Every structure is written in structure tokens, then in C-alpha cells.
Amino acid sequence: MNTTSQVTPELVRRSIQGRFNPLRGLTPETLSQQLDWFRAGYLRQLALTMEAIEERDDIIAGVAPKRRKAVARHGFEILTLPNLSDADKTRADRHAAALQYFYDHCECTNALDLDERGSFKLLVRQMMDAPGKRWAAHEILWQPSPGGLTAEFRFVPLWFFERITGQLRFLDINKSVEGQPLEAGAWMITRGDGIMIACAVAWMFKSIGLKDWLIYSEKHGMPALQGKTDAAKDSPEWTAMVDAVVAIASDFSCVTSKGDLIEKIDLSTEGQLPYPPLVERMDRALAILWRGGDLSTLSKGGEAVGSQSQQGESEMLEEDDAGMIGETLNTWIDPWVIRYTVGDDRPLAYVKIRTQNRQDTKLEIEVDKFLLQSGAPLSVESTLERYNRPQPEPDALLLTPPAAGFPGQTPYPALENEAVNQQLLNNVLEGLTGVKAQWLGGVKPFFRRLLDAARAHTLSDADFVQTLDHAQREIPELFSKLDKQALANALEAAMGAGALNGALRGYMTRPTNVENQKRKAEAIDV
């Protein structure tokens, strides 16, 4: 378990003091040479150039942070593997708890800028250096504690490494050109696309166009002046004219006698200058490489329709970046955390980077309702993950679904005088109980006889029909014994109380499936 950093304070000091401007004097030839070295495994020169371009180019300085922050803003969640046995579920819960503590308490900093400190979000933003420079390296300093295991991640710039053997190796930049192999469990390497290689080429063409444009503007941005005078040369009046012309335009100006002739030499370009389209083309290329599209420029050329094209490309990049970060953590961090804390070599839980929920939620809910009504099985874990909702903690306070009411019904506040409402309900129940007792006493034996006849397998069809015919003749007599006025009064009071109570409370308790089955059985039994 690594607890000591290889990036020593002395190495940091020498690196900072030895920094230079890699863009000063950079030409297409030297950039091409750096690209060749980078491909051969010598990363330092091009890594420094790419870092300087990211800091100084106005387009990249705007789009690159957006790309990094897009995937870091939604946080993370800890999930367990599906379809586990009961024994594995217990182990998976322990794995998940260890990972949750680790990522909740991890710290992050920069080896060359110790004032840059943060937690998981900063870690993700630093890992997002990989899409630009192809690799992002973090040194892991493990920090055991009584509450659990966590670590400090130290971001180490790419120019501290070489890969002439096919893998990154840590390089003492002042001593050798070959580095030391990275210790397992002590480093995390994020691998990305390396779009800054193409951005460096685009920046070079943009830089050439901007320089030529600036030279042209400097020479031809202001008109030349010619001063004419009748004074003799070198006379006080002539000298005064010279001073006046120089004060207005010192570079392109002259003083002549009125009879002298100066021919015009026009070096300006007719029509549109070639520099602006070149610079705009490179700016568009930089924006496309980082964000998948630039709405303000792409829409002008007819290559995109509104914001839909840009939004789709940005969403795809964000989801892919989140997958890259998650897979890197699952490979380089999760197994070591579980091995150090639990002692297991096969992780049953993992960290997942959340992304913005862009699915059609209404459609998803309708589909889920249809599947549930059709009896299709839906996993709780997969459903929560699809809606970007984390699994609740075992002792967490859970929300309960609202009770069912009438369609479109709006809940109202409870009665101010709860005692009045309760007394009203008691009166209604008392009246209904009296009617029900009278009804059950006279009618229930009638239904019991029918049920017994239906269940009797010894009765012939003719005997069963005779029983039904006899029961039909008993119905008027049985119901005539009920107190019709008492029944009407009870029903009226029940409907009034029910309407009042429903309007004020808004919801009735929804029976569960078990209760529904129980009620059906009781109805059959009656």
C-alpha cells in the first residue's frame, strides 16, 4: 500500500523553475518533430506544447473546461452486481459500503500546484485531461482510518512520463530519458482520445493566419498621408509641415512641393482577405474536436440545423466520457479498495458516474406501467439505475406512495375540528351497523344455502335448478323484512359523510393486492 509520493518537493521545484514557453519560436517543422517524438514514446515536448496551447488559445480555453465540467457535475453512485445469491448479496453490501466511504472521503490535488485541492469532482475534471492529451496520471496515496479506507489522488502532468516500452513510466526529468515502471496499486492511468494532437495542428495553421493578418493590418490598416507646401525645402515653413505630417502618421507619410508627383503603390488586397476564413475554419475545427459542434459557427455554414445537432453530439460525448471515467475507476481503484478493506479479490460492487437524465421520462413511465400490468418482471436495481436514482441506505427514511383518490382529485387540508369529523363518521357507522346486522340476519342464510348447493357435487342439474327457483321466490320476502327507511337514512348519511370527508382529505387508502384477494375471498364466502 503506497503512502509516500514519488513526486518529491525537490523534483517539483526543479520542474517549476525549469519551465519555459514552448510556443515561442514554434514552427510547423518543430511541431511536426514533436508529433513524431510523441508517437515514438517521448512525450515531454509535445505535452508541454499542448498544455500551453490549452491555456492560451481563446477557443480551447472556453470549450475544454466545459467538456471537463460536464461529466463532473452529476456525481457518482455505488451499485452492486445483479442476480446475486443471498450470500453474495451480503458480501456485495460490504463492498458497496467500503466504496461509498472511499469516494465520499477521497481528496485530490495537483503535484505542481498544491493549492489546487478538492474531492471527487476535482478528480473527475483532472481525469478528463485524458481526452485532450491521451493520458492522465494520478499517484495514489492510500489513507487508512478507523472509519474506513480512503486516499489522496495527486495529478501528475504528462511531461513527467515516457512510454517507449508501450506503457507509461515515471520519469525524473533532470536525470534520465527512461523512466521507472509504475507500481501496481500506486498509480491510476486514464486513457483518452488525445484530441489535442489534432488541436495542435489546427492551432499552428490558425497562428500563421493570425500573424499574417496582423502584419497586413499593421501596414495597410491606415492610409498614407502626403503634405504639399509652397515653402522652400528645409525652411521653417517646410519643417513645420514635416512635423505636422509626422505627428499624424509617422510610418506612411511624406512632404512634397506642390509641383512634385508621387505615384501610388497599392499593396492592399481587392475583395475579401484570405486570413479571416482560415482563422474561422480553425476555430470551428477546435470547437468541433472538443464539443462535437459549435452552434454560432456551424449554423452559418448550413452544416447543422439549429441546436439539435450540437446537443446530440455533446450528449454522446458526455455519456462516453462518463463511461471512460467509470471504467477507469472500476479497473484501477475499486478492486484495490475492496481487497484492502474486505479481503476479496472479486468486486461485487462498483462506482458509476452519473449523467444528465435526458430520456423521455413520461414515455419510460408509461412503458414501465404497461410492463407491470402485463406481468413482466422489472428489477428494482436496474429501474433505479435507468432513472439515475441511487439505492437507499438500509436505515434510510423512505417515501411512501400517496393514497389513491378519485381521478383529478386535489388533496385538501384536514378539518380544523377533527372531533366533529370523527363524530360524524361514528354516527354514520352506527347507523350502517344496525342495518347491516338486520340484513345479515335475514339474508346471509339465503346466500349460504345457494353456496352449499353450488358446492354440492351430489345434486343433479334438475335439483340445482329447483333450488335456484325456490330461492328466487324467497327474495322478495327476505328483502321486505328490511327497514327501508332506516336503510335510506343510513345510505344518505354515508354518502354525505363520505363526500365531505373525501373532499377534505382528498385520498382514500389504496388496498394492496393481498387485501384485494382477501376481500374477493370474503365476498365469495358471503
DSSP string covering 337-371, please?
Answer: HHHHHT--SS-SEEEEE-----S-HHHHHHHHHHH
Q: What is the pLDDT of residue 415?
A: 42
Please spell the DSSP secondary structure of 198-259, one letter per residue.
HHHHHHHHHHHHHHHHHHHHHHHSS--EEEEESSPTTSHHHHHHHHHHHHH-SSSEEEEETT
CA 351, CA 81: separation in Å to the nearest integer? 11
Largest CA distance in the chain: 148
- 42 and 150 housed in the same domain: yes
Please give the helix or strand (H or E) that residue 106 lies within, else none.
none
- 116 and 54 housed in the same domain: yes
On whether residue 183 sits in a domain, the answer given is: yes
- 117 and 183 housed in the same domain: yes
Which one-letter amino acid corresponds to residue 136? A
Q: What is the pLDDT of residue 305?
A: 46
- 482 and 512 housed in the same domain: yes
On whether residue 23 sits in a domain, the answer given is: yes
- 73 and 169 housed in the same domain: yes
Q: What is the pLDDT of residue 225?
A: 64
- 476 and 377 housed in the same domain: no
On whether residue 216 sits in a domain, the answer given is: no
**Cell numbers of 480, please?**
321486505
Helices in 20-105 by DSSP H: which ranges? 28-40, 44-56, 60-72, 86-105
- 26 and 136 housed in the same domain: yes
Domain boundary among 196, 211, 227: 196
User: Which of 72, 92, 98 is CA-nearest to residue 381?
Assistant: 92
- 432 and 366 housed in the same domain: no
Rg (the chain; Cα; Å) = 41
Domain hosting 486: range is 418-525
Distance of CA 427 to the CA centre of its chain: 57
- 422 and 389 housed in the same domain: no
Residues of the chain with pLDDT under 70: 173-175, 220-226, 248-271, 294-311, 357-360, 402-451, 454-459, 475-526
For the segment 255-266, what is each residue's pLDDT rounded down to a tens digit? 666 655 444 445
- 63 and 146 housed in the same domain: yes
On whether residue 407 sits in a domain, the answer given is: no
Domain boundary among 196, 219, 235: 196
**Helices 60-72 and 275-291 sit at what angle, rounded to 10 degrees?**
10
Q: What is the pLDDT of residue 446?
A: 62
Q: What is the pLDDT of residue 295?
A: 47
- 65 and 142 housed in the same domain: yes
- 30 and 175 housed in the same domain: yes
Beta bridge partners of 79: 350
